[in-house]
Amino acid sequence: MKKNVIVTGGSKGIGAQIVRELAELGDNVILCYNNSEQEAKQISNQYSNVDTFKVDVTKRDEVKKLMEYCVEKYGTIDVLINNAGISQIKMFSDITDEDWNKIIQTNLTSNFYTSQECLKYMVKEKKGCIINISSIWGQTGASCEVAYSVAKAGLDGLTKSLAKEYGLSNIRINSISPGIINTQMNSKLNAEDIEKIKEEIPLNKIGETKEISKCVKWLIEDEYTTGQIIGINGGWYI
């Protein structure tokens, strides 16, 4: 059955692949972006069922307008995919207040806003699915990525808590926790770094965005999985 889906951070990397996967299935997809308008439009131009919406997910008023737009256009919000995020590599001793607040606001607080505003509509329908794109660092922690790791760990906690709170409303909430994926976010790693990481991964390879989008597709279709943190990492964290 066709779904009405919101994907934050949908213009690049994992988000863009999720948008394409769901659009090809025939779902109505709202691709959310903030700064990457050109990339967003390039994707939407390929699919008649993909709409774009500019939103800064760290601002509640803009998030509210996003949810209102989806309901006005499609009637319901069936699926929310919280994918927007930023990373930073920095020694803990060098992290500034501004760094910390920006990482936490973008990677965690934004998901509080989107989930809370979206759930208002899902509860009325007594159905819905929220998928949070987390990270392996939320489970293991990463040296020189403390703020990012804290934010993703918080996102996993949000996932579990909301799954318990909204289960009786027939709303399923899960996290996908990728390992290292071939995206622009990881393009700063050089060939030597990549090879060292691959040596630590049982499958000895870097993941592709399609691995995440396939899991998203399954979680939308499945009706008995909630509150889970699903690791897609090649066995990097067992």
What residues are labeled active site? 148
Q: How far apart are CA 203 and CA 189, in angstroms?
A: 19
When computed from its CA atoms, the radius of gyration of the chain, rounded to whole angstroms, is 17
